[in-house]
Each structure stands twice: as C-alpha cells, then as structure tokens.
Chains A and B, each alone.
Chain A
C-alpha cells in the first residue's frame, strides 16, 4: 500500500499568497483528518470528513482556511490569504470506521513557511 500521500512536502510562500495543500488518503478509508502541528500548540485537529462529507470544522482557525473533499481519493486544504502565523507542518490522516478509528494513518506532512 502507498499510504497517505501529501503534496507538496515543503512550501515556501509570501504573506498574502494562496496556498493549497493536497492529500490522497488510503484507498477504502472512510475518514480523513487534517491536522496542524506547531511547537507552541502541538497537534491540532482542523477538520475531518466522513465519506467525503465535512463533519466538524470547528478547529479551522479562521475563514482564511477552507477544506474540500470532492471524492474519496482526494482532499485539499486551502489558505487564502496566507499569513506568517500559518507556518507549521500540516498533516493529513485517514482511517477506517468504527473501532478502526483508533488507528489513524498519517501522511508525511507538508511543511509550510509563510514569509
């Protein structure tokens, strides 16, 4: 299995630019999660989807952040406009349903730097 795939692995952009992060979950998984990791706040859940439907986006920091899952094999997290405080590592993870939600499979992350 290929595992969860994220792109790009690194992104450097300037303040005010739009940033799009991409994720391909493991085939057959029902849930997809977006997390943000920073030194100060640790690992934060931003949003999660069940069968492509957004269930809870209460972790999205503000309206500049949006996420979509147009089909079972692809999701995007978009930041527009980006700000320096958005610099972090963004992880996508996926899991099966029920008790199998205990085991989330994480991608390698996208390290975002906003100058």
Chain B
C-alpha cells in the first residue's frame, strides 16, 4: 500500500541554520505530495504542496520539490527561526488509492535554538 517515510527526529538546529527534512514515498500512480506542520499545542496545518513531478511547493520560506525519479519530497529552508520549532509531517494523497485520503509520515520534530 501507499506509504510515506521521513527522517527520524528530533532535529536540533541553531537559528539561521539550513534545514533539510528528508521524505520519500511509495505509491502507485501519480500522487500529490504535502508537508503539514504542527506547532506546539495545535493541530496540523498545511504548509505546502506539489501535485505533479518537478513541481516546487513553497510557503513561509520553506520549499520542497516533487522528485518522481527518486520518489522524494524533501523539505528545505535556508535560514530557520525559533518560531519554526514544530513537528513536520510529510504526506501523500493518491487519488486512485487509499480512498483518496491523506497518508501521513510519522513526523519529524524540529527544535531551533536562539
């Protein structure tokens, strides 16, 4: 079945450091890919998405590129801030499978120190 694998956390960075959180997926067909973010004490919210190969999703300085050849959707940010501390979830939606529901990875916790 469809699945998402993301790097184990926690990830601890200093402010202004470069961030990469790796995400790979397994799915039949052509899924859409997403990053959701969960700030402390809150529910998840959509951060960015990409719906086809080579698309780049971006929001709030975060970017991720849909790489079909490597089945990856790594999240990057050039300069993290303390306010970026959160748990980040990679997800996919396969319109032909899983009843079209979102399939989430286990999440990667990011802590940014001042």
A positions within 8 Å CB-CB of B: 4, 33, 41-43, 45, 48, 55-56, 91, 93, 101-109
Other A-B pairs, 20, CB within 8 Å; known A56-B101, A106-B43, A106-B44: A4-B43, A33-B101, A42-B104, A42-B107, A43-B44, A43-B89, A43-B104, A43-B106, A45-B101, A48-B101, A56-B99, A93-B43, A93-B44, A101-B93, A102-B93, A104-B44, A104-B102, A105-B43, A105-B45, A107-B43
A9 CB, min distance to chain B CBs, angstroms: 9
Selected contact of A55 from candidates B42, B46, B93, B99, CB within 8 Å: B99
User: Could you list 15 A-B pairs, sorted by A, with CB under 8 Å?
Assistant: A41-B106, A42-B107, A43-B89, A43-B107, A56-B99, A93-B44, A101-B100, A101-B101, A102-B34, A102-B49, A103-B46, A105-B43, A106-B42, A106-B45, A109-B42
Q: Is the CB of B34 within 8 A of A108?
A: no
Total B residues in contact with A, Cβ cutoff 8 Å: 19
Digitize B25-64: 1 where CB-to-A-CB distance is under 8 Å, 0 elsewhere.
0000000101000000111111001000000000000000
Identify whether the interface residues of A are mostly helix, strand, loop, or mixed.
strand
User: Measured between C-beta atoms, what is the minimum distance from A34 to chain B in Å?
Assistant: 12
Q: Pick the 5 closest A-B CB pairs, nearest first.
A: A106-B43, A42-B106, A43-B104, A106-B44, A103-B46
Query: Within 8 Å CB of A107, what residues of B?
Result: 43
